[in-house]
Amino acid sequence: MSALPFDCDEMKAARQNLAGIVRRTPLLEGCDLVAGRTLHMKAENLQLTHAFKFRGAYNRASALGEEERKRGVIAASSGNHALGLSLAGAMLDVRVTVVMPEGAPVVKEKGCRRYGACVLREGETYDDSVEYAFDLAQKHGYTYVQSFDDPVVAAGQATVTWEIIEDMPDLDVLVLPIGGGGLITGALGFLHCGGVEIPGRSAPLDGVKVVGVQAEGAASMIRSVSSGRRLPMERISTIADGIAVRQPGELTYATVSEWVDELVTVTDDEMLEMVGMLAVAEKLIAEPAGAAAAAALALGRGDVLSRVKRDGLKAACVLSGGNIEPDLLSRAIKMVRLRGGSLKK
């Protein structure tokens, strides 16, 4: 068996470190999305910086040594990790530089600048930005802060799942989006590390089924897991910039390939329609990546999720981010009006 990304003590330390810093976001019941049933959604789109990424970024930034803080940090990100690290840097008085691919949403760039970060645009994809950011880190002595392939970051993301289980102790199935894999790695680490007791839950935590969701046009984790090794995709194509990663990380690939129950995909149209449905029916703003897990759950995509309604399983998904360009949100709402707001399998 593969080693877990962190141990129970490290996860508990992350929880304590983030206490009073992050928002405890609600586990909402979306009653108006799918006829005849309720979708339980962890609203990390309401987190500080409007994405779960702030948890891991703050946990990592707060662990910096004195010299590292003086030199500053750098990261590559399509936006949400950059936002999280930018706010963490502002809170901890650490200078932050972020490198974004050319196509990253302007709304995310502006948010980073508001928090005082230096923002650079480089490369067509996230992976191109990573290469450039690594070069700058070596040249200037910055500490590179991984967006997902870091156990300290993953331990911070684990607190999302911890809160979900506390709010829903009888949970059977957890549905999470995957880009590089930091969120799902944190979830799997929490569920399998042992040593945590949840009031009201009698079943073992490792009995929760975990389903990962990728964009059809950027299914790098699925491709790697099915091949038995990390494989880069030559090209990715998706509107979901938050999960547009050509290759999973070493840590995240090892954890996901060992512990995940199922991996599925959703199309750009399915994510976009769910964005519109969330906005119109539930008054919740999500970006396409943030709506990926909700779309898969609503569609009953894959073997595990097809059993949720049929077998009466208790399921929850994570709305991972809400930083969407206004024009894209408008397009999503128009799509719902044209189609009647009902996802088709």
Instruction: Point out the domain boundary residue: 144, 175, 199.
Output: 144
Instruction: Point out the domain boundary residue: 122, 144, 166.
Output: 144
Phi, psi of 41 (to 5 degrees): -130, 120
Are residues 99 and 247 located together in one domain of the fold? Answer: no
Question: How many domains, in total, are found in the chain?
Answer: 2
Are residues 195 and 176 located together in one domain of the fold? Answer: yes
E-strand spans in 219-334?
Answer: 262-266, 315-319
Q: What is the pLDDT of residues 160-199, one digit of tens each?
A: 999 999 999 999 999 999 999 999 999 999 999 988 999 9
Q: What's the CA angle centered on 146, arms 72 and 135, to 5 degrees? A: 65
Q: For the chain, percent helix, then strand, then coil, each to nearest 5?
A: 50, 15, 35
**CA pair distance 207, 171, nearest whole angstrom:** 9
Are residues 323 and 192 located together in one domain of the fold? Answer: yes
Per-residue model confidence (pLDDT) at position 126: 85
CA dihedral 221, 227, 229, 233 (to 10 degrees): -50
Are residues 161 and 265 located together in one domain of the fold? Answer: yes
Asked whether residue 1 carries a pLDDT value surpassing 60, the answer given is no
Per-residue model confidence (pLDDT) at position 332: 96
Strand partners, 144: 74
Asked whether residue 2 carries a pLDDT value surpassing 60, the answer given is no
Q: What is the pLDDT of residues 6-35, one digit of tens each?
A: 999 999 999 999 999 999 999 999 876 776
When pLDDT is cut at 50, 70 and 90, the band that residue 206 belongs to is very high
CATH number at residue 67: 3.40.50.1100
Asked whether residue 105 carries a pLDDT value surpassing 60, the answer given is yes
Q: What is the pLDDT of residues 138-169, one digit of tens each?
A: 999 999 999 999 999 999 999 999 999 999 99
Overall average pLDDT of the 333-344 stretch:
81
Q: What is the pLDDT of residues 269-325, one digit of tens each?
A: 999 999 999 999 999 999 999 999 999 999 999 999 999 989 999 999 999 999 999
When pLDDT is cut at 50, 70 and 90, the band that residue 341 belongs to is low
**CA pair distance 175, 290, nearest whole angstrom:** 12
Asked whether residue 200 carries a pLDDT value surpassing 60, the answer given is yes
Q: What average pLDDT is seen over the chain?
A: 94
**CA pair distance 133, 314, nearest whole angstrom:** 42
Q: What percent of the chain has pLDDT over 90?
A: 89
> Does any domain span residue 69?
yes
Q: What is the pLDDT of residues 34-76, one digit of tens each?
A: 766 789 999 999 999 999 999 999 999 999 999 999 999 999 9
> Does any domain span residue 344?
no
Helix (DSSP H) and strand (DSSP E) numbers for the chain: 14, 10
> Does any domain span residue 179?
yes
Are residues 209 and 63 located together in one domain of the fold? Answer: no
> Does any domain span residue 333?
yes
pTM above 0.75, yes or no: yes
> Does any domain span residue 3?
no
299 is written with which tokens?
A: 């569609």
H/E run at residue 91: helix 80-92
Are residues 264 and 203 located together in one domain of the fold? Answer: yes
Domain membership of residue 177 as a residue range: 8-48+150-339
> Does any domain span residue 345?
no
Are residues 32 and 96 located together in one domain of the fold? Answer: no
Q: What is the DSSP string of 130-162?
A: HHHHHHHHHHHTPEE--SSS-HHHHHHHHHHHH
E-strand spans in the chain?
Answer: 27-34, 37-43, 73-76, 96-100, 118-121, 143-144, 173-177, 209-215, 262-266, 315-319
Instruction: Point out the domain boundary residue: 95, 115, 144.
Output: 144
197 burial type by CB count under 10 A (0-12 exposed, 13-18 middle, 19+ buried): exposed
What are the CA-CA distances from residue 10 to residues 6, 189, 192, 201, 301 (Å)?
6, 11, 14, 22, 34
> Does any domain span residue 230?
yes
Asked whether residue 210 carries a pLDDT value surpassing 90, the answer given is yes
